[in-house]
Amino acid sequence: MRLTSARVLVAVLALVAAVVGPLTALGPAQAAAAAPVGWTVQVGSQASDEAFQGMRFLPGDVTIDAGDTVRWVARSTEIHTVTFFPGGGPQATLPDFNPADMTQLTRQGGSVYDPKTGFNSGLMTTVPTKGDAGPLPPVPHVQSYSLTFPAAGTFTYYCLVHGKMMVGVVHVQPAGTAYPYTQADYNDQARIARAGMAAMGKHLRHDLVRRSTAHRVFMGDDNGAVAVMRFVRRTAVVHRGERVVFRNPGEGAPHTVTFGREPPPPGLFSPSGTPGRYSGGQLNSGIIGPHGSFTVRFTKVGTFHYVCALHDNMGMRGTVVVKR
């Protein structure tokens, strides 16, 4: 088992907090406002050093009145989207994230929600436009995105990048209905969920440290709620002729192992170089998905630096030192 009973308990408590919120802290239902109200939902979360990335809308569910507006605010370097599909209901399947599809990368639809059509925020991240948000086309980065909901209904949305692990719901009541929660309640729920995900991230990383060796390096990890954006072990020391296996034990996040200069897309997404006899220079694993691995045999003494080309902007870098 990858998690001890105590860690499972931490994970369960964090997920409960993320789903139902601090119900015991809530007061009575709030009377509906005379004018439309604005609500805020946080998109993603992260540790101060960006080593842990939370894959949640916070809160995941909000209840508003017809005429109100929801504003989604980016809270992480990791890219996300806020995407409603036509019909507004849960989706049986989702399209794969395609960094070449401009309809996924840029805003689609207006500012007033209509369930008959689709809406997309574009890429949401705290990284300013033209900053490094990964190997993506130079499209505008969105730090906030708003939609007004004119009619009652229940509407589900997703992050296109992370699929069904990152889903939210907007419940729209008829205008004039009392609100079950205040924005302060939702903020408390988000705070508790962030703390829970930070604890999960620390436990995931501790487990990786315990299982890693000089010949087994982990390409981060994720459990569907939080992702570790670090190579573990970060510096591996081996002898000439020996192999290092890079493993991605996660559930959803892809990574690369890239030595030398990062090839631009689309070359970045395909393997290049000769991992069976690496002596320096260019070497790229291509995209390594969940439960995948990449093995490199080092044939020359030296110090070799590498990155995850998808997440090096978050500090996902490593080194292999090869001795005689």
Residues 204-216: tens digit of each pLDDT: 999 999 999 999 9
**pLDDT of 15 strictly over 70:** no
Judge if 167 and 48 occupy the same domain: yes
Say what the pLDDT of residue 252 is.
81
Judge if 59 and 151 occupy the same domain: yes
Last residue of a domain, one of 175, 200, 225: 200
pLDDT band at 319 (very low <50, low <70, confident <90, very high): very high
Q: Does the residue 205 lie in any domain?
A: no
Judge if 16 and 98 occupy the same domain: yes
Contact between residue 228 and residue 204 where contact means Cβ atoms under 8 Å apart: yes
Judge if 193 and 216 occupy the same domain: no
pLDDT band at 126 (very low <50, low <70, confident <90, very high): very high
Over residues 220-261, the pLDDT tens digits come to 999 989 999 999 999 999 999 999 999 999 988 889 999 999
Judge if 221 and 187 occupy the same domain: no
Contact between residue 11 and residue 158 where contact means Cβ atoms under 8 Å apart: no
Residue 81's domain comprises 5-200
Q: In this structure, what token pair is assigned to residue 112?
A: 């007033």
Residue 255: closest CA among 319, 292, 313, 308:
308
pLDDT band at 29 (very low <50, low <70, confident <90, very high): low
Residue 261 neighbours by CB under 8 Å, 6+ apart: 282
Residue 60: closest CA among 15, 113, 7:
15
Q: Does the residue 86 lie in any domain?
A: yes
Mean pLDDT, residues 199-203 taken together? 95
Judge if 218 and 194 occupy the same domain: no
CATH number of the domain that 252 lies in? 2.60.40.420
To which H or E segment does residue 159 belong?
A: strand 153-159
Judge if 92 and 113 occupy the same domain: yes
pLDDT band at 62 (very low <50, low <70, confident <90, very high): very high
DSSP 60: S
- Give the C-alpha separation, 31 to 173, whole Å: 13
Q: Does the residue 279 lie in any domain?
A: yes
Measured over the CA atoms of residue 210, residue 211, residue 213 and residue 216, the dihedral's sign is negative
Q: Does the residue 196 lie in any domain?
A: yes
Q: Does the residue 294 lie in any domain?
A: yes
b (16+ CB within 10 A) / e for 73-104: bbbbbbbbbbbbbeebeeeeeeeebebeeeeb
Q: How many structural domains does the chain have? A: 2
Last residue of a domain, one of 159, 176, 200: 200
Say what the pLDDT of residue 224 is.
84
Q: Does the residue 206 lie in any domain?
A: no
Judge if 63 and 152 occupy the same domain: yes
**pLDDT of 297 strictly over 70:** yes
Q: Does the residue 135 lie in any domain?
A: yes
Share of the chain above pLDDT 90, in %: 80
How far from the centroid of its chain's Cα atoms is residue 306's Cα? 22
Last residue of a domain, one of 150, 168, 200: 200
Angle (nearest 5°) at CA 16 between 15 and 22: 125
Judge if 62 and 191 occupy the same domain: yes
Residue 168: closest CA among 76, 278, 91, 93:
91
**Length of the chain, in residues:** 324
C-alpha dihedral (260, 261, 266, 270), degrees to nearest 10: 0
